[in-house]
Amino acid sequence: MVWLLIVVPLLAAVLAFAVSSPTLRAWILPTVGILHLGILLVALTTWRTLPATAWFGLDALGGWVLLVISVLFCICAFYAPAYLALRPDRDHRVLSTCLLGFLGLASLLAQARHPGIAWVAMETTTLVTAPLIYFNHNRRSLEATWKYLVIGSVGIALALLGTLFIAYAAHMGGLQEPLRYTRLMENGALLSRPWLRAGFVLTLVGYGTKMGLAPLHTWKPDAYGETPGIVGALLAGGVTSCAFLALLRIYAVVGAAGEGAFARELMVAFGMLSMAWALVFMIRQTDIKRLLAYSSVEHMGILVFGIGIGGLAAKFALFHLAANALVKSVLFLSAGNIHRSYASKQLPFVTGAIRRTPVSGWLFLLGFLAITGMPPFAPFLSEFNIASGALSTGHILGGTAFLILLGCIFLAMSETVVQVVFGTPSAQRVRTPYKDAPATTAPLIVALGLALILGIWMPRPLQAMLDHAATTVEGVLSARMEVQP
Amino acid sequence: MMPDLLIALTMLSNFSLVATSRVSKAIQFAVLQGVLLGLMPLAMGLGRHFHIVLLAIAAVTVKGWLIPFLFRRALRQVHIQREVDPYIGYTVSLMLCALGTGLSLVLAHNLPLKAGTEYTLLVPASLATLFTGFLLLVSRRKALTQVVGYLVLENGIYLFGLLLVEDMPALVEAGILLDLFVGIFVMGIVINHIRVAFDSTDTRHLAELKD
């Protein structure tokens, strides 16, 4: 049944391309989103052991990541019809098709049991998301699309080389194809060390480029800055999660092969660097969407940092994937609303949002507080546990630096956010007809509500899934939990 | 013998790629490389495996016919002939390419190969071609030449993949080939939009976004 998760969105993408009525087409998005989430939830409640020979199937890790993407897609999809109605000048045939295509390919990636298939899915995801960035059809978005396409393709090419290196490591160890993740993990001890290490470095750099880890994030502020908020939300929470999953699969193989210490160090270093780099560019950032892009760089850093620390921190890094995706959708979509209202996303022009668009202004403010780790929202829970995981496992320096960086990032972001939300309205602002309406704010309130609930209470099945996913990431195969396709 | 000759030709074409200023020449060399590499599995005497023959045919079709078709179309649209004023000049590029090739040989020397591997040149050639692709990507201004760089990069990866060609699942190989084609197709579309928007395909114009 899980194959429906791939087929339904892809068929819907074809349908969206064929339908000529814009209103009808816009409503395909939420319909498919809710259908996808429903199928996924049913699939996740009926766990069975997957035969080792399967090419596709959901395990706890893939299921968790896909659940995050599916919920995020739903939020964005329910926001879409109202948003697209605000942009009657722009044809959204390509946008709708590519959004649905992305959902299908993300489902393929989550279910891939072979690194080669995962790579193909990831590369195709890059290609279908590139036209999304070009939605505004102007010079700036064109520049962003070109950078996204070129930098992303090079990164993903390096990931392919890394995947081939790991396949060669197995080849030298006498393992035969098909080298599914399970086989690679079970026979970890046989893998050739130099090729495995080189392969991991390349996949980290390659998929890290897609995630937007510093210093390979250069496409990110441009891409997120020039796209509609809805695409920004899906890129920041969806595409990056896909790349993170592809990386985690390789990380698990490296861990199972007993080279975990090597991989951990690299992850921690990359994480710290991303957070520090993001901080530098957040200071006095006047463009709200670019500010969010750097926040995304920071949070990708938090994810790999947590995974690198391991144990409790790794589990909460996976939890942070959900927390970040939910809150980022609130931030990007409310920033999109503010952008609509002011016809600008730059600081001297966008001030006093709380008076002009009260709901979006509040959501932007609350989203900012949530993402920087204010209790009781979900990011607080994950960031707190990652820090305490680091400090309690002897990473005193890393844990302290992590907390200091979080504090500085809060200060850097607050300077811009406070002006946007509370500042005195600028005299030279443009009047636009945009007003906050339930259709453009309700999905955001739901997302923020979910982030709040997750920060306080975690349903037991999700808890179990997260535990299993965390053990898989650490390279332990015993706790396998998979769904038959 | 034959495979080593093909590998040597590939490495030589790397030098021609970085030394030429004509965009159409660069495209021809990259295509030539792709076709040579597509034929490699047959030269390696793997013609008895049906799926490998099929994939070799697919690779030669995509790299020798479909991709050149896309490039020709793009060239017609953008009317450019020469790469003017690259970020890194041709002489320096050539020297860098030689340096990269040398480093690849040293690097490959330090990586162990499976006992009994016949084609010891594959790994250094792969790294050298990869490096050439990178060089083209970062040192050229025209968007089309950057796409050529991407194609050369992929050729380098394909060279390494030849070490595993007997083993690799056909599904994965076909997927990689398809992605390469679609990737270049999408880049071609974007280049055409760049031409319409800026009246040029010089990536120098793409420098508006920064902090």
- Strand A58-59 and strand A482-483: the pairing is antiparallel
- Check B179 against A123: CB less than 8 A apart: yes
Q: Which residues of A touch B137 (CB under 8 A)?
A: 150, 154
| ipTM score of complex | 0.95
Measured CA to CA, the distance from residue B103 to residue B207 in angstroms comes to 33
C-alpha B54, offset from chain centre: 21
What's the distance, Cα to Cα, between the start and end of chain B in Å?
A: 54
Q: Residue A125 has which token pair?
A: 């995801």
* pTM for the predicted model, two decimal places: 0.96
Q: From the CA of A21, how many Å to the nearest CA of chain B?
A: 25
- Check A149 against B187: CB less than 8 A apart: yes
Q: Provide CB contacts within 8 A for A99, sequence distance 6+.
A: A29, A73, A76, A77, A80, A132, A231, A234
Contact criterion met (CB below 8 Å) for A243 and A290: no
- Check B112 against A192: CB less than 8 A apart: yes
pLDDT at A428: 66
C-alpha A201, offset from chain centre: 21
- Check A114 against B161: CB less than 8 A apart: no
Pick the residue from chain B with its C-alpha nearest to A285.
Answer: B211
- Check A161 against B171: CB less than 8 A apart: no
Q: Which residues of B touch A140 (CB under 8 A)?
A: 208-209
- Check A143 against B111: CB less than 8 A apart: no
Q: Residue B79 has which token pair?
A: 């009317």
What is the secondary structure of A302-345 as a DSSP string?
Answer: HHHHHHHH-THHHHHHHHHHHHHHHHHHHHHHHHHHHHHHHT--
Q: Which residues of A touch B143 (CB under 8 A)?
A: 146
- Check A143 against B208: CB less than 8 A apart: yes
Q: How many CB pairs under 8 A join A and B?
A: 123
Q: Positive or negative CA dihedral for A280, A281, A285, A291?
A: negative
Asked if residue A485 belongs to a domain, the reply is no
Amino acid in the structure at residue B159: L
Instruction: Give per-10-residue mean pLDDT for chain B (211 aa).
Output: 90 94 93 94 88 92 94 86 84 95 93 84 95 94 93 95 88 91 93 88 85 77
Q: Shortest CB distance from A176 goes to which of B156, B167, B203?
A: B167
Q: Which residues of A touch B188 (CB under 8 A)?
A: none
Contact criterion met (CB below 8 Å) for A254 and A313: no
Q: How many domains does chain A have?
A: 1
Q: Residue A364 has which token pair?
A: 């932007």
Q: Residue A321 has which token pair?
A: 């994937």
Q: Residue A54 has which token pair?
A: 């399967």
Q: Residue A241 has which token pair?
A: 């999660």
Measured CA to CA, the distance from residue B201 to residue B146 in angstroms comes to 11
Measured CA to CA, the distance from residue A351 to residue A421 in angstroms comes to 6
- Check A167 against B167: CB less than 8 A apart: yes
- Check A116 against B171: CB less than 8 A apart: yes
User: What residues pair up with A58 in beta bridges, in sequence order?
Assistant: A483
Question: Which DSSP symbol is given to A235?
Answer: I
Amino acid in the structure at residue B203: T
Asked if residue A292 belongs to a domain, the reply is yes
Question: Which DSSP symbol is given to A58?
Answer: E
- Check B208 against A139: CB less than 8 A apart: yes
Measured CA to CA, the distance from residue B177 to residue B39 in angstroms comes to 15
Q: Shortest CB distance from B164 goes to which of A143, A167, A222?
A: A167
- Check B157 against A114: CB less than 8 A apart: no
Q: Which residues of A touch B171 (CB under 8 A)?
A: 55, 116-117
Measured CA to CA, the distance from residue A69 to residue A6 in angstroms comes to 13
Mutate to test the interface with B, among A94, A108, A119, A143 (most CBs of B within 10 A): A143
Contact criterion met (CB below 8 Å) for A304 and A267: yes
Q: Provide CB contacts within 8 A for A103, sequence distance 6+.
A: A9, A32, A33, A36, A69, A70, A73
Q: From the CA of B164, how many Å to the nearest CA of chain A?
A: 7
Mutate to test the interface with A, among B155, B196, B209, B210 (most CBs of A within 10 A): B209
- Check A177 against B179: CB less than 8 A apart: no
Q: Residue A319 has which token pair?
A: 């939890």
Chain B: residues touching A (Cβ < 8 Å): 110-114, 130, 134, 137, 143, 146, 150, 153-154, 156-157, 160-161, 163-164, 167-169, 171-172, 175-176, 178-179, 182-183, 186-187, 190, 193-194, 197-198, 203, 205-209, 211
- Check B194 against A176: CB less than 8 A apart: no
Residue numbers of the domain that contains A364: 3-46+53-478
- Check B111 against A134: CB less than 8 A apart: no
Question: Peptide bond preceding A461: is omega within 30 degrees of 0, i.e. cis?
Answer: no
C-alpha B73, offset from chain centre: 19
A90-128: per-residue pLDDT in tens?
899 999 999 999 999 999 999 999 999 999 999 999 999
Q: Which residues of A touch B204 (CB under 8 A)?
A: none
pLDDT at A48: 65
C-alpha A366, offset from chain centre: 20
- Check B171 against A171: CB less than 8 A apart: no
Q: Shortest CB distance from A139 goes to which of B164, B167, B197?
A: B197
pLDDT at A47: 66
Q: Which residues of A448-460 are buried (b: 16+ CB within 10 A; e: fewer)?
A: bebbbebbeeeee
Q: Provide CB contacts within 8 A for B48, sequence distance 6+.
A: none
Q: From the CA of B101, how many Å to the nearest CA of chain A?
A: 18
Measured CA to CA, the distance from residue B188 to residue B181 in angstroms comes to 11
Task: Identify the segments of chain A with pLDDT beneath 50.
Answer: 479, 484-485
